[in-house]
Amino acid sequence: MSEKLNKKSKPIGKLKNLPSRRNMLGDKKKNLNEADENKFQKLFDFANDAVVIIDVETGIIIEANKKIQRMTGCTLNELIGSHHTIIYPSEEREVYLKTFKNLVAM
């Protein structure tokens, strides 16, 4: 599955204090009409880059787009709820885990 990833793929940054998607969208949904909500979902799903939202406390994937699904060969159901290390090549998982922990600690 994750062995299909480009070996040059790497995390490029982090968002601090990102609320869970449920909380984030719950607060914003009051201000979004259905067209705006659909536009956001399409932008996320069809982004030219792989996008994964990870819970920083648990390392669990809470959202993923179509590009990361194609890159890993995993379905959305396999990705969401799994630890983020599933998306990295097996021989590099420890390196990415350490990088993730360092980013979260910043």
Output the pLDDT for position 59.
93
Output the pLDDT for position 8.
47
Whole-number Å distance between alpha carbons of 6 and 87: 11
Output the pLDDT for position 24.
54
Output the pLDDT for position 25.
53
Q: What is the pLDDT along the chain (106 residues), one digit of tens a residue?
A: 444 444 445 554 554 455 555 455 555 556 667 888 888 889 888 899 999 999 999 999 999 999 999 999 999 999 999 999 999 999 999 999 999 999 888 8
Amino acid at 50: A
